[in-house]
Structure 1
Amino acid sequence: MVQIAAITSASFGAPDWVMKMIIVTLVIGFPVAIVLAWAFEMTPDGVRPTEAIPSDESIASQTGRKLDWAILVGLLVVGGLLAFGEFIRPAPSTETLSEISPEAMAQATESTESDLTSIGPSESDHQSTQSIAVLPFEDYSAEKDQDYFAKGISEELLNVLARIRGLRVASRTSAFAFGGQNKSVQEISDALKVSHILDGSVRKSGETLRISAQLIETTNDNQIWSATYDRPLTAKNIFDVQDEIATAIVEELKGRLTFTPEGETGRTVSLEAYELYLKAREQSNQRLPAPLLASIGDFEEVITLDPKFSHAYSGLADSYMLAFAYGALPRETAKTEARKNIDRALVLSPSSAETLTSAAMYDHMFSESPDSQAAIDYALKAVAANPNYSVAFHRLGQAYAKKGDYEKSLKAFEQARTLDPLSASILNNIARIQRLTGDWKAAKATTLDNIKWNPEQPAGHIALSVFYFYEGDFLNSFLSAKEGQALNPNDPTPPIILKEIFIKAKLFDQALAMENSADTQAVIAFEQGDFEAARASLPKMQDLTQKAYLAFLLKDYERAATAYDKVITEKSYNALKADTDNLVDFANISFVFGKLGLPKSTPYRSRLTDYFGHQSAYDFDQLNQLWAGAVFKASGKTPTDALSWIDRMISLGQADNMLEGPAFDSLRTAPEFVAYQARMSENRSSLNTVIKAKLADPEPNWVKVD
């Protein structure tokens, strides 16, 4: 009866309480049925007490045979229902990344996107008694060579716990940051905002596996649960132990928590494939070129061992995309291979948060259109599938940022931060959005927090270098860029920053060592006063923005306008408001088009007017804001309004050739402007001296450039 009820209730969509009531009724009725069956017998004359029937008149044996047939028929019915259930079960989705229609995605995410805050953890969850961090388990194997396996078990267990509704789980990056640090329970709790900590150990010995775990309540440092599991070493046993630990934690924490052990979806039955998968994922998590390339080879071997292991495909796709992002693979290779593996993962596990997040990352990274909705739709589906999965919120934040919706982007990133408060990548993205929305102070504080928790990650140092650069602190920008470059020599950003600093310091050989391109050669020619060589280099330049700016400096307004028209199309400037990243371009575009008497100068000047409003130069702290403001004011009705903006910029340390630009031609004879040119020259000379001194006495870890 329970078997039949389970099948039929699922088919008719009955609520959970129906099945519970059936089971309770059967449990209560079972002893009654036993007593009645013992005390009475069904006869042709009706129900009579057993003791009143002579033994030679009993028909119990006949009734038993009838019951045997009834049971047999019942089993056949159950078997038929099971077969029918398998027959009518929907087939696995065959939708691929290229086949899911925008309409279908929009329908699936319509209610989800409307209220992002209702999906993930709320601010009050920080203080929730139902929150947990899983620290990396220790390797207790005799050879101490199973660290990746122990960490992998911890991460898998974390992923299992993340599926428990009502439990906030700190993400891997933040929790694992405390591995081997001997931090107190209180210190970990304060950093991760969790009320419970799970840690333990893993020992592999031959064909035997031992997993020990303990649950600690952070408010009083008490161990409230512990267990040790000794099992034969098989993939199934590993998953069973993970599910048993999760079930035990649900029982200990109680409250409104529910946990349903995961089926075979996303898992593998091959122990060899599983162990190699853990190793590959550990390498991918390092976010560095060599480990990322190694993870690609290991993921591919995992797929050879188990072609139906869906998480291996999404993991492989992620490694390809990250390898491109961190400078280890060319774009087209990463794009082609990632697409192929995401398509396969979507077929095998279309509802997996990991698979959907990989698909979101792909569209964000490789979609040519800034208006693409696919990345947002995939990320929203991933969030709905697992609201504890910080990476899904991370990709959602990136997707919104690409569309220019910074408010939703920051909200998504903050949700990711709630789950993974120490993640270098999440903190870096939050700082970037804070900067784009004009909250410079908060952005820099977030970046410094990032470096505090992730000193070995290049992202924070590189971001800090950008902040220093825009503040005019070129020495600290140089030092931070060198630190970031030392941590990841393949990252493309530090050489760009260093090249710009070398040009400002008139260290042209060092700039060419960073990038010996036609663009750099043209800029250096202008810096050296060889205007004819600079003009001759214009057709060879590849960077449209740099080409347009150099043509602007050379007063070649026709060529500058042509290049800026392409920049406007490439960066969708006509659809954007002025912000810290596009201000300089907007000011130059307004000036160039105005010089040519083109009406399309007007909307850009209008946006700059809206941005600067009635604020003075001393209301701004970034060089690009001041630079754009100076050009904007110099090309207005009273060019002398630009002088205070130039003064503010030079006082912050600007060292540049910008005063040579045509926007300031009407100010050249003004005594104040002549004084500003002298101060700018002093800034450049000072920067030259200090950078040369640092290059002569480099730090041991600096990347050496010949």
Structure 2
Amino acid sequence: MTEAPHPPAEKPGLPDPPPNQPGLLAQLMERQVGRAAVMYVVVAFALLQAADLLLPALGAPYWVFRVLVGVAFVGFPIILVLSWYFDLTPQGLRRSTSEKALPVGPRRLWVRRGILGVVGLSALVLGGFAIIRTLPANVELDSSRIVVFPLVVPDGEVPASVGEDIATMIGHALDRAASLRWIDGWAFLDRDEQVNSRALTLARARSIAAAQGSGRFVVGRVVAGADSLTVLLDLFDVTEELPLQRAGAQGSLREPWSAGLRAANQLLPSLIDEGPADFAAHFTGRDPAAVAHFLAGEAAYRRVRYPEALAAYQSAFTVDPAFPEAAIRGAQAASWTHRSVEASLLVEAALALDLTDRDRAFAEGLQAYLAGDSERALAALDRALALDPRMAAAWAQRGEVYHHLAPSRRLPDSLAAAAFQQAYTLDPTAGGVLYHLAQHRLRSEEPEALRGLDQEFRSAASDPSLISEIELSTRCAVQGPGAVDWEAEARERAGILMEVAVNLAAGERRWPCAEAAYRAILAHDTDTSGWEVGRRWSSLKGLTGLLLATGRTEEALVLLDAAGTSLSHLRRAAGPSSRRLRDSGGPSEVGDPVQFAELLFLLVDAAGFPTEGRAERVAAENRDAEGRYGSTNIARLWFMGIWEASRGDAEATRDVARRMEERLATGSGSPRDSLLVQAMAGHAALAEGDSVAALEVFRSLRPQGEIQWNEADALGHERLIHARLALALGRHREAVDVTTWLEASPSIYPLFRSAALEIRAVATEGLRMNSDARVLRERRDQLVTSSRP
């Protein structure tokens, strides 16, 4: 018989287990915590809505409302805790009966209290943080800088461009009002926001304004009626949620910008203490057609369509010859498109009109730049930046001065890159600036600088030719010359290829790509529009310089011989595929030689390279029966003079200098002619043995004109002699500075690279910088061994 199992023995001293406890959710419902939370949220929301309406009317600063929001946030967990432990009865607060009725084990009780404590502490911390965030931020913001964003326009009722046009006119008017400065908000919007201003949120607008150091910003909208429209503007302080002031004005559908200016005029008392009664009068009284053309130019300029912008600005100025903004903006657009004559005429017209002090200083800087006077240009631009340190156009123009004129400053390329970067930071829509920044990255020896360059530029730029140029340059720089079909590029896009060659020739690491581009243009450019003549001359000079700098003197001489014979000979000498071009119906075997090609023998010989009697032959062919140079062309005489000076023939050099002076006195007196006459005076002094006088002349010379393309304007030969003289006179730092300039971008400078590196190496040794001298000589030696395609 089996015994029944005995029940387990009870352990003495332990209490009976508690009855089953309801879960936390059940207790929350029983204690009516949820109802208390809902009631609190409803009441708090109603009170905050009332405060939002009443506090501004009472003149209370907006941070008071923010503090109330923080207090409401902190009060929420307090209500939850109170509703857990207490019940609200007609007799007042009573300890919750559920708290008494339901015994809870010590461990479970501490867990619940811990959870409530963590929730409460977190709420207090977050609430405190919210209160701190509501207080005025200690940020230095300039309340005189006003960001104006494009206005929101109704879909389909008015043109989409109206919002941008109104913002543009308001901005230009602000720039003319006392100490106010306009920041174009459109430049800092993303693509979606630029296309659709409705996508711009108030928080995003505030963030952009704060990032630009602006204390105020303007947003608005356009309301269209049957035959009119209303412009509504809100002026905000970056630290406030509510607008400082609201304004509105009605106007015609034909001239919406006029209503925008009248509305902006109402905001003026909130912006400056004292100002004109109508700060927009400068624009509202103008011919509407002129303003319409001007706004079209502004829209095109923002989108880097400079030729289109120039045409619109010129139309505006034609309609209204007293429109200074149209003239000065037109000059900028013309300058970016290298139309220097039109730019000079427009900036001269602008300076005769009513300009603000800042804009006048900028216009004077632009005028000096166009005249090739780098020092005067920098001085004027410095004045403009002193008045407005955030003037992006002035920073961009400084970059242009360093990039194209290479003034008497150390490391002009580095200074140019820094100025362009500052301009791009201030105005991300500055497409010309972005292009120059891309050029400088292409010259970098750091592989990381090239990573993704073509994609970045494509996403930011809109000019197809510039995009093609940067993409082609990047492809060759990253993958090598073999990655490009040079013949096809020369046939289809010779103009773009010319820009690629010159840009890449500025950096020694890119010389193989530049050489391939030059050769392709000389061998395969079949264009007959007239532009091919300039490309051929520039490519001949560029390729000759690269060949000589890399130790291929004989090849360079053969190339120049071919250029002086006929075009077909030049094609054959420039590229191995030129015979296929001829056999397939290209240019015939016969033809005229490349004009002035023989003069390059004189420059090459003067630079120190052997020409095996070719320079002497060219000089003899240009002398008359009396042994004097008979040309009346100052540029041609310059070639003769520098060659005679390099031989030390003082009499011949002085005679050339006199003939140039006579021609200048009786001729047109162009800036280039004046520059070459001044340079020849220095050569003559040196040939006569007066080194000190020659050095003073060469110090005073400043490159001007088309220095990127013209061998004389760039003063490369004069700078090389300047460096040699400074070194001979023991002025080592000056010699280093001058040879550093010769690493700038002009296409003729590679011709002097080897000699410049040696001069700088000797000068650095004189400064006891022996390690730098070794690096420079290694660079010089590597030109011969590693710069061939």
Residue 250 (structure 2) aligns with = 231
Relative contact order: is structure 1 or structure 2 higher (C-alpha 8 Å, sep ≥ 6)?
Answer: 1
Residue 504 (structure 1) aligns with = 516
Residue 341 (structure 1) aligns with = 346
Are 1:299 and 1:316, in contact at CA under 8 Å, matched by a contact in 2? no
Taking the aligned partners of 2:358 and 2:284, their CA distance within structure 1 comes to 14
What is the root-mean-square deviation of aligned Cα atoms in Å? 5.7
The answer on 1:556 being equivalent to 2:643 is no
SS at structure 2 position matched to 1:199: strand
Residue 577 (structure 1) aligns with = 739
The match for 2:163 among 127, 137, 150 is 150
The answer on 1:537 being equivalent to 2:563 is yes
SS at structure 2 position matched to 1:308: coil
The match for 1:274 among 282, 291, 302 is 291
Residue 81 (structure 1) aligns with = none
Q: Do the aligned partners of residues 646 and 536 (structure 1) sit closer, same or farther apart at CA in structure 2, a change above 3 Å counting?
A: closer
Are 2:218 and 2:233, in contact at CA under 8 Å, matched by a contact in 1? yes
Taking the aligned partners of 2:769 and 2:441, their CA distance within structure 1 comes to 18
Q: Do the aligned partners of residues 290 and 184 (structure 1) sit closer, same or farther apart at CA in structure 2, a change above 3 Å counting?
A: same
Pairing 1:319-468 to 2, within 5 Å after superposition: 319-322=333-336, 324-325=337-338, 331=339, 334-335=340-341, 337-364=342-369, 366-369=370-373, 372-399=374-401, 402=405, 403-405=407-409, 406=412, 412-413=419-420, 415-421=422-428, 423-429=430-436, 451=457, 454-457=460-463, 462=469, 466=473
Deviations 1:452-501 (A, max 9, x none): 7614246577457556656674467889x98xx99x98796247679984
Taking the aligned partners of 1:357 and 1:529, their CA distance within structure 2 comes to 47
The answer on 1:606 being equivalent to 2:618 is no
Residue 241 (structure 1) aligns with = 263
SS at structure 2 position matched to 1:232: strand
Taking the aligned partners of 1:347 and 1:238, their CA distance within structure 2 comes to 28
Q: Do the aligned partners of residues 246 and 300 (structure 1) sit closer, same or farther apart at CA in structure 2, a change above 3 Å counting?
A: same
Are 2:265 and 2:280, in contact at CA under 8 Å, matched by a contact in 1? no
Instruction: Supply the AA of the counterpart residue of 1:180.
Output: V
Are 1:280 and 1:298, in contact at CA under 8 Å, matched by a contact in 2? no
Taking the aligned partners of 1:523 and 1:410, their CA distance within structure 2 comes to 23
The match for 1:179 among 188, 191, 194 is 194
Are 1:138 and 1:200, in contact at CA under 8 Å, matched by a contact in 2? yes
Instruction: Supply the AA of the counterpart residue of 2:229.
Output: L
Taking the aligned partners of 2:208 and 2:166, their CA distance within structure 1 comes to 23
Taking the aligned partners of 1:150 and 1:582, their CA distance within structure 2 comes to 41
Taking the aligned partners of 2:231 and 2:434, their CA distance within structure 1 comes to 33
The answer on 1:287 being equivalent to 2:294 is no
Taking the aligned partners of 1:508 and 1:569, their CA distance within structure 2 comes to 22
Taking the aligned partners of 1:319 and 1:244, their CA distance within structure 2 comes to 33
Deviation at 1:377, TM superposition (A): 3.5
Pairing 1:255-270 to 2, within 5 Å after superposition: 262=279, 264-265=281-282, 268-270=285-287
Q: Do the aligned partners of residues 269 and 391 (structure 1) sit closer, same or farther apart at CA in structure 2, a change above 3 Å counting?
A: same
Taking the aligned partners of 1:563 and 1:125, their CA distance within structure 2 comes to 69
SS at structure 2 position matched to 1:373: helix
Taking the aligned partners of 2:466 and 2:495, their CA distance within structure 1 comes to 12
Q: Do the aligned partners of residues 284 and 602 (structure 1) sit closer, same or farther apart at CA in structure 2, a change above 3 Å counting?
A: closer
Are 2:385 and 2:394, in contact at CA under 8 Å, matched by a contact in 1? yes
Are 1:400 and 1:408, in contact at CA under 8 Å, matched by a contact in 2? yes
Deviation at 1:391, TM superposition (A): 1.1
Q: Do the aligned partners of residues 578 and 275 (structure 1) sit closer, same or farther apart at CA in structure 2, a change above 3 Å counting?
A: closer
Residue 308 (structure 1) aligns with = 322
Are 2:232 and 2:246, in contact at CA under 8 Å, matched by a contact in 1? yes
Q: Do the aligned partners of residues 410 and 154 (structure 1) sit closer, same or farther apart at CA in structure 2, a change above 3 Å counting?
A: same
Taking the aligned partners of 1:149 and 1:203, their CA distance within structure 2 comes to 11
Instruction: Supply the AA of the counterpart residue of 2:457.
Output: I
The answer on 1:208 being equivalent to 2:228 is yes
Q: Do the aligned partners of residues 519 and 615 (structure 1) sit closer, same or farther apart at CA in structure 2, a change above 3 Å counting?
A: same
Deviation at 1:629, TM superposition (A): 4.3
Are 1:548 and 1:563, in contact at CA under 8 Å, matched by a contact in 2? no
Deviation at 1:215, TM superposition (A): 5.6
Taking the aligned partners of 1:238 and 1:418, their CA distance within structure 2 comes to 28
The answer on 1:298 being equivalent to 2:315 is yes
Q: Do the aligned partners of residues 180 and 501 (structure 1) sit closer, same or farther apart at CA in structure 2, a change above 3 Å counting?
A: same
Residue 90 (structure 1) aligns with = none
Aligned-pair identity in percent equals 12
Normalised to the residue count of structure 2, the TM-score between the two structures is 0.47
Taking the aligned partners of 2:153 and 2:146, their CA distance within structure 1 comes to 21
Are 2:560 and 2:598, in contact at CA under 8 Å, matched by a contact in 1? no
SS at structure 2 position matched to 1:137: coil
Pairing 1:463-482 to 2, within 5 Å after superposition: 466=473, 473-474=480-481
Q: Do the aligned partners of residues 518 and 446 (structure 1) sit closer, same or farther apart at CA in structure 2, a change above 3 Å counting?
A: closer
Are 1:502 and 1:508, in contact at CA under 8 Å, matched by a contact in 2? no
Are 2:309 and 2:333, in contact at CA under 8 Å, matched by a contact in 1? yes
Deviation at 1:158, TM superposition (A): 2.9
Q: Do the aligned partners of residues 321 and 520 (structure 1) sit closer, same or farther apart at CA in structure 2, a change above 3 Å counting?
A: closer
Taking the aligned partners of 1:225 and 1:607, their CA distance within structure 2 comes to 63
SS at structure 2 position matched to 1:577: helix
Deviation at 1:245, TM superposition (A): 3.8
Instruction: Supply the AA of the counterpart residue of 1:137.
Output: L
Deviation at 1:554, TM superposition (A): 9.1
Are 1:450 and 1:460, in contact at CA under 8 Å, matched by a contact in 2? no
Deviations 1:525-561 (A, max 9, x none): 9999797564242584569889967999995267689
Are 1:577 and 1:607, in contact at CA under 8 Å, matched by a contact in 2? no
Residue 32 (structure 1) aligns with = none
Pairing 1:691-702 to 2, within 5 Å after superposition: none
Larger Rg: 2
SS at structure 2 position matched to 1:213: strand
Taking the aligned partners of 1:246 and 1:467, their CA distance within structure 2 comes to 49
Normalised to the residue count of structure 1, the TM-score between the two structures is 0.51
Taking the aligned partners of 1:584 and 1:475, their CA distance within structure 2 comes to 23
Q: Do the aligned partners of residues 218 and 134 (structure 1) sit closer, same or farther apart at CA in structure 2, a change above 3 Å counting?
A: same
Q: Do the aligned partners of residues 522 and 513 (structure 1) sit closer, same or farther apart at CA in structure 2, a change above 3 Å counting?
A: farther
Deviation at 1:137, TM superposition (A): 2.6
Residue 493 (structure 1) aligns with = 499
Taking the aligned partners of 1:199 and 1:338, their CA distance within structure 2 comes to 34
Instruction: Supply the AA of the counterpart residue of 2:305.
Output: L
Q: Do the aligned partners of residues 577 and 186 (structure 1) sit closer, same or farther apart at CA in structure 2, a change above 3 Å counting?
A: farther
Q: Do the aligned partners of residues 441 and 176 (structure 1) sit closer, same or farther apart at CA in structure 2, a change above 3 Å counting?
A: same
Deviation at 1:179, TM superposition (A): 0.7
